Structure 1
Amino acid sequence: MGVDTLFSLEGKTAIITGAGRGIGRAIAVLFAQAGAHVVCAARTESDLEHTVDLCGEAGGRALALPCDVSEEAQLEKLLAGAVEHFGSPAIVVNNAGGAWPNDPLTTRTDTLVKDFAFNVGSAFALSRLAHPHLCEQQGCIINITSASARYAQAGFSSYGTAKAALTQLTRLLAADFAPNVRVNGISPGTIMTSALEPFLDDNARQRMTELTPMKRLGQPADIAAAALFLASPAAAWITGKIIEVDGGAESTTWPF
């Protein structure tokens, strides 16, 4: 198998949640460039339309389907729309997620539960709903977790716990779904996205860079490249694994 074939997604349908900006957008555009038919899901339609335009510029076909991943009925509609327009998905990227830093002494339990549902429950639901289609395609699931899942750092008890659960869910679903569906995850370190940038001034950015062995902060393209590998034939014998894309950081780079 040639290198072009090893990393090709030609003709495959991919659903990507959180595709309106940042990491999700970068994955969508790279998948489109690799030949996939990309279904872009997020809550903000204008963001999705911009992603679809970028996918078109990359030479691929893409569809914007607004979706709140916290609502299972909307996930069902998302899946039905993908099948109607492009056929059964071969790839699902559970990228939607996130939570604010928190103080555990002032965080209500229902906030923790909500963060868990957003980051873990939505990925579980879409993976379950898509499973029959993924089996048909001998496809794969990629969960975007976080380095916060393994770092011991103040202020992340809610987000870090949710992402740790998503990391373990990835391993467990891989065991459940093998050998027909591969399930892997990517654990990003500090990635410069529009969600992170407002928190950082020049001093904070410099401190985070100094704490990163590779001496730069990550870009969405770094995560997209790992996702392309996991989705491609090159990763056909990989399941239940988490790729850590974090510039080599083995502890928190959070500067506050």
Structure 2
Amino acid sequence: MILDRFLLTDKVAVVTGAGRGIGAATALALAEAGADVVLSARTAEQLDKIADQIAGTGRGAHVVPADLSDPAAAAALADTAAEQFGRIDIVVNNVGGTLPRPLLDTSTEFLEDAFRFNVSTAHALTSASVPHLLASGDGSIVNISSIMGRVTGRGFLAYGTAKAALAHYTRLAATDLSPKIRVNAVAVGSVATSALEVVVNNPELRERMESATPLRRIGDPDDIAATVIYLCSRAGGYVTGKVFEVDGGLEAPNLDFGLADLT
């Protein structure tokens, strides 16, 4: 059956930023597809809630509260997962994000922080996971990038630069790790997570964003989770080094911060 290719029975996955939004939806989807999951984020209460949902699927969940802006904390997840479940098959580097800021308000330190949070943490967990992924014989890594890594918009300098770096990191890592480990990314558009809570709860702003999106809606975290399942499973077994654009058809930002020309 073709649907069997989407199953992840008895695989072990590590998901960062798993307390809410895309990370939480992805962790739960992986469990529903048959995987045990190690979940990490800052807030233990959020992680415990997702772990309870995973337990309801009959799969195992191990919660690791941590500040993943520290690459060392991200790297430590690899050994924790291997100790807890005996192996690692899947890594989802979801943690990341950077607040919008005009160029002249973007210090060098702010830019470096954005790079560390979005790229260095992914590299730390990826490199620490490689020995375990090689041992599994069927390793897959998925990085969560953004549409802002390929389009332009005012206010997105730090975030867009970091996500563009993560997208190309994906291609380069896939080359280095092939043929044993597949590495792909998902470049997401506007998704209804806590980061867009102000927009989602404001009918006027939401209508503006939806009308500027070819598919006329804001994305759902499950839209991203479903893509991750494809990329991690045998269904995506002939895919590596690719950045999948799951963005409703956007070719430009669908929210303008109204930043004025410099004078």
Category of TM-score, reference length = shorter chain: over 0.9
Q: Contact conserved, 2:199 with 2:206, CA < 8 A, in 1?
A: no
**Maintained 8 Å contact 2:145/2:185:** yes
Q: Which residue of 2 aligns with 1:162?
A: 162
Q: Check conservation: 2:185, 2:242, Cα contact below 8 A.
A: yes
User: How far 1:109 sits from its partner (Å)?
Assistant: 0.6
SS at structure 2 position matched to 1:250:
coil
1:129-188: CA deviation from partner (whole Å, max 9, x where unpaired):
101111111201000000011111001000000000000000000000000000000011
**Equivalent residues in 2 for 1:52-63, closer than 5 Å:** 52-63=51-62
8 Å CA contact retained: 2:77, 2:125: no
The residue that corresponds to 1:218 in the other structure is 219
In 2: Cα distance, 1:116 partner to 1:242 partner? 18
* Alignment partners' CA distance in 1, 2:192 and 2:71: 30
User: Quick check: 1:18 aligned with 2:32?
Assistant: no
When the two structures are superposed, what TM-score results if normalisation uses the length of structure 1?
Answer: 0.96
> What residue number does 1:88 align with?
87
Report the 3-state secondary structure (helix = DSSP H, G, I; strand = E; otherwise coil) of the residue aligned with 1:105. helix
Q: What's the secondary structure of 2:9's corresponding residue? A: coil
2:209 — aligned with what? 208
Once the two structures are TM-superposed, the CA of residue 199 in structure 1 deviates from its matched residue by 4.6
- The amino acid that maps onto 1:33 is E
Deviations 1:35-56 (A, max 9, x none): 0001101111111101101112
**Which residue number corresponds to residue 96 of structure 2?**
97
Q: Deviations over 1:94-148 (max 9, x none)?
A: 0000000011112211010011000000001111110111111120100000001
> Where does residue 112 of structure 1 map in the other structure?
111
Is 2:190–2:219's contact at 8 Å kept on the other side of the alignment?
yes
Identity across matched positions, percent: 45
Aligned amino acid, residue 188 of structure 2: P
Q: Post-superposition shift, 1:31? A: 0.5
Match of 2:261 in 1: none
Counterpart secondary structure, 1:169: helix
- Structure 1 runs of 4+ with >4 Å offset: none
Q: Where does residue 249 of structure 2 map in the other structure?
A: 248
Specify the alignment match of 2:260 in structure 1.
none
Aligned to 1:232: 233
Q: How much has 1:63 moved relative to structure 2?
A: 1.1
| 2:184 counterpart SS class | strand
Q: How does 1:24-43 map to 2 (within 5 A)?
A: 24-43=23-42
